[in-house]
């Protein structure tokens, strides 16, 4: 049996849980929009063509803010193509994902969908093929009350009241050579600075996210952030991070320790941003927007139901691309990535799991068919529900798991929150061990443990293994079930985590 001892203290908090930490992402890619959130003619579609089953699952997931419309897609996108009468909208070739974009779904539709989903909008602008003028114009169209060309056109197109979008991304992954309109750090930094200035002249209350590195392995990582922020520090509020993880060649141990890399990535960007702050003698801090993260298998698969990949056929509408099917192992990794984001909530103020439906997503939806939860849905939904109030600093003394990529990593990974309003602590655990259960003791310093109100663990069905997943024909094989044997008394909590598991424990506490 493996062991871990965790200490939390009422007086050692990190920050308030950021509301936008549990965000998602809708891109015009594959079947995320078309036959994902939007499918006129579906038996469960509403009068605007929005799938009500997907809307219900989005609300259950607890997504708070949705980034739109890309992603790589946005770097070749003309936002004006998605407004006005649908019958008059142009059909375009989308070079980013080698598909045919009908533009039947655009800004107005997304605003309406977001209202029904109860989510904030995080709008991305095209700084690949376009620039300052288009950036200024979309803010005027979306946010100006009226009396100008673009605001009056919005009213003519059916929305008299402003959309009041306050969160904007200044392009997408501009450090990547794959990006349409790829730029050097200096080229992008100056463009982002000038676009930001023009956008704020229209609406001074907006918040702006500059593009950081696409991943921590980019050859320009670090230098990119330093150069971009040297140009645009005064004009932006956040810098972005993107990261995707997968299991390589059966190396489950390294995959399960992926959050070690996420920790490094976050802390490196914080250090770089603060260095620019010091050098430039700036007063404000630049916070982080981890606006793309997930498990994504970016290499081929032998699975018979693996969707076709990009660029292997002609131009078609919403082809099936990167519709990864997630298993138990993937869900445990997603739980640890969420832990990393939460532990860094003092600086990571926005995070978006990519994407919401069908495309590397927690939700799968079949055309003219059902929608269901993937395994990775469960840790996200429960953390979005229960992680409220203050983030608690966690001190972990744990047995280690040896990994090829990261050396020794804690066998037990954890994050914790304290909601003083309802008097409850929530702890989110992962056991990275493939074979052994782990006994866990939690020292509750400054707290007096009361009733355990929730104790759940991700279920692996009888006869299943770490590769078990939810499918069209077995949609609920993997879910959350009660975690038995949790004991809380005085200043201590004790539990046993099954091998390869994600679990949540919520308990009432008093102060001592």
Per-residue pLDDT tens for 66-83? 999 999 999 999 999 999
Same domain, 241 and 377: yes
Same domain, 150 and 284: yes
Same domain, 486 and 423: yes
Same domain, 360 and 402: no
Q: What is the pLDDT of residue 375?
A: 98
Domain limits at 469?
A: 3-8+391-511
Q: Assess whether pLDDT exceeds 70 at residue 299.
A: no
Last residue of a domain, one of 357, 386, 415: 386
Question: What's the CA gap between 476 and 374, in Å, rounded?
Answer: 9
Question: What's the CA gap between 5 and 439, in Å, rounded?
Answer: 9
Same domain, 376 and 401: no
Spell out the SS3 assignment of 331-385. HHHHHHHHHHHHHCCCCEEEEEEECCECCCCCEEECCCCCEEECCCHHHHHHHHH
Q: Assess whether pLDDT exceeds 60 at residue 309.
A: no
Same domain, 456 and 474: yes
Q: Which pair of tokens denotes residue 26? A: 């809708």
Number of residues assigned to the chain: 512
Same domain, 25 and 56: yes
Same domain, 351 and 401: no
The CATH number assigned to the domain holding 365 equals: 3.20.20.80
Q: Assess whether pLDDT exceeds 50 at residue 302.
A: no
Active site residue 402: no
Same domain, 450 and 377: no
Q: What is the pLDDT of residue 311?
A: 54
Q: Backbone phi, then psi, for 230, in 5-degree steps?
A: -60, -40
CA–chain centroid gap for 244, Å, is 11
Q: What is the pLDDT of residue 304?
A: 40
Q: Give mean pLDDT, residues 132-150.
A: 98
Q: Assess whether pLDDT exceeds 60 at residue 16.
A: yes
**Number of structural domains the chain divides into:** 2
Q: Is residue 13 part of a domain?
A: no
Same domain, 229 and 322: yes
Question: What's the CA gap between 139 and 141, in Å, rounded?
Answer: 5
Q: Which residues of 75-88 are buried (b: 16+ CB within 10 A; e: fewer)?
A: bbbebbbbbbeeee
Last residue of a domain, one of 386, 401, 422: 386
Work out the mean pLDDT of the chain and round it to a whole number.
96
Give 78's contacts (C-beta < 8 A, 6+ positions apart): 92, 126, 130, 134
Last residue of a domain, one of 326, 355, 386: 386
Q: Which position has the token pair 């699975």?
A: 303
Same domain, 403 and 296: no
Q: Is residue 452 part of a domain?
A: yes
Q: What is the pLDDT of residue 308?
A: 47
Closest CA to 478 of 462, 456, 460, 463: 460
Question: What's the CA gap between 255 and 245, in Å, rounded?
Answer: 7
Q: What is the pLDDT of residue 511?
A: 81
Same domain, 304 and 400: no
Q: Is residue 292 part of a domain?
A: yes
**Residue 460: which pLDDT band, with cuts at 50, 70 and 90?**
confident
Q: Give mean pLDDT, residues 288-315.
A: 70
* Full DSSP string of 117-138: HT-EEEEEE--SS--HHHHHHH
Question: What's the CA gap between 475 and 468, in Å, rounded?
Answer: 11
Q: What angle do CA 217, 223, 225 make, to 5 degrees?
A: 90
Q: Is residue 370 part of a domain?
A: yes
Q: What is the pLDDT of residue 373?
A: 98
Q: Assess whether pLDDT exceeds 80 at residue 246.
A: yes
Q: Which pair of tokens denotes residue 223? A: 């230098």
pLDDT digits (tens, 9 = 90+) for 328-354: 999 999 999 999 999 999 999 999 999
Q: Structure pTM?
A: 0.96
Helix (H, G, I), strand (E, B) or coil at 188: helix
CA–chain centroid gap for 181, Å, is 24
Q: What is the pLDDT of residue 305?
A: 43
Q: Which position has the token pair 């539709």?
A: 109
pLDDT digits (tens, 9 = 90+) for 164-200: 999 999 999 999 999 999 999 999 999 999 999 999 9
Q: Which pair of tokens denotes residue 197? A: 């200035």
* Full DSSP string of 393-422: P-EEEE-EEEETTTEEEESEEEEEEEETTT
Question: What's the CA gap between 380 and 338, in Å, rounded?
Answer: 7
Rg for the chain, CA atoms, rounded: 23
Of the residues 123, 292, 456, 506, only one is catalytic, namely 292
Q: Would you tell me how many other CB atoms lie within 10 Å of the CB of residue 395?
A: 13
Q: Do the Cβ atoms of 367 and 54 come closer than 8 Å?
A: no
Q: Give mean pLDDT, residues 388-411.
A: 97
Active site residue 292: yes
Of the residues 173, 235, 323, 506, only one is catalytic, namely 173
Instruction: Specify the DSSP element, H or E, that contains 439.
Output: strand 438-445
Q: What is the pLDDT of residue 1?
A: 79
Closest CA to 212 of 273, 155, 161, 144: 273
**Residue 301: which pLDDT band, with cuts at 50, 70 and 90?**
very low
The CATH number assigned to the domain holding 484 equals: 2.60.40.1180
Q: Is residue 95 part of a domain?
A: yes
Q: What is the pLDDT of residue 313?
A: 63
């Amino acid at each position: 049996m493996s062991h871990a001892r965790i200490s939390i203290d009422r007086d050692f908090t990190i920050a308030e849980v950021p509301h936008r930490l549990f965000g998602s992402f809708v891109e015009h890619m594959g079947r995320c929009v078309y036959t994902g959130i939007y499918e006129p003619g579906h038996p469960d579609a509403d009068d605007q063509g929005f799938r009500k089953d997907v809307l219900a699952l989005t609300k259950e997931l607890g997504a708070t803010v949705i980034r739109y419309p890309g992603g790589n897609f946005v770097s070749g996108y003309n936002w004006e193509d998605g407004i006005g009468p649908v019958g008059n909208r142009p059909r375009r070739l989308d070079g980013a994902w080698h598909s045919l974009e009908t533009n039947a779904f655009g800004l107005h539709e997304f605003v309406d969908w977001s209202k029904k989903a109860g989510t904030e909008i995080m709008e991305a602008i095209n700084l690949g093929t376009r620039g300052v003028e288009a950036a200024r114009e979309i803010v005027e169209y979306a946010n100006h009350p009226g009396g100008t060309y673009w605001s009056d056109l919005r009213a003519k197109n059916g929305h008299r009241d402003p959309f009041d979008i306050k969160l904007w991304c200044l392009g997408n992954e501009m450090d990547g050579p794959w990006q349409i309109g790829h730029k050097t750090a200096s080229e992008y930094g100056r463009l982002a600075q000038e676009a930001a200035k023009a956008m704020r002249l229209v609406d001074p209350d907006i918040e702006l996210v500059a593009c950081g590195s696409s991943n921590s392995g980019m050859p320009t990582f670090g230098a990119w952030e330093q150069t971009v922020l040297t140009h645009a520090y005064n004009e932006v509020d956040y810098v972005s991070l993107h990261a995707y993880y997968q299991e390589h060649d059966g190396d489950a141990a390294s995959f399960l320790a992926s959050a070690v890399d996420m920790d490094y990535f976050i802390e490196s960007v914080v250090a770089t941003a603060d260095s620019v702050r010091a050098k430039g003698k700036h007063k404000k801090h630049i916070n982080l927007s981890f606006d793309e993260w997930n498990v994504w298998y970016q290499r081929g698969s032998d699975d018979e139901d693996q969707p076709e990949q990009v660029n292997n056929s002609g131009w078609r509408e919403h082809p099936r691309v990167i519709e990864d099917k997630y298993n138990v192992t993937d869900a445990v990794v997603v739980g640890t990535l969420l832990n990393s984001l939460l532990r860094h909530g003092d600086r990571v103020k926005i995070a978006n799991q990519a994407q919401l439906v069908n495309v590397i997503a927690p939700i799968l939806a079949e055309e003219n068919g059902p929608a269901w939860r993937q395994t990775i849905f469960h840790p996200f939904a429960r953390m979005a529900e229960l992680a409220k109030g203050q983030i608690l600093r966690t001190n972990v003394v744990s047995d280690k798991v040896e990994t090829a990529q990261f050396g020794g990593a804690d066998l037990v990974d954890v994050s914790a929150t304290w909601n003083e309003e309802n008097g409850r602590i929530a702890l989110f655990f992962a056991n990275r061990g493939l074979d052994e259960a782990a006994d866990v003791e939690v020292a509750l310093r400054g707290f007096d443990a009361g009733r355990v109100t929730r104790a759940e663990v991700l279920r692996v069905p009888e006869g299943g293994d770490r590769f078990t997943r939810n499918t069209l024909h077995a949609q609920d094989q993997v879910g959350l079930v009660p975690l038995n044997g949790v004991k809380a008394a005085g200043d201590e909590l004790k539990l046993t985590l099954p091998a390869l598991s994600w679990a949540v424990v919520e308990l009432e506490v008093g102060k001592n």
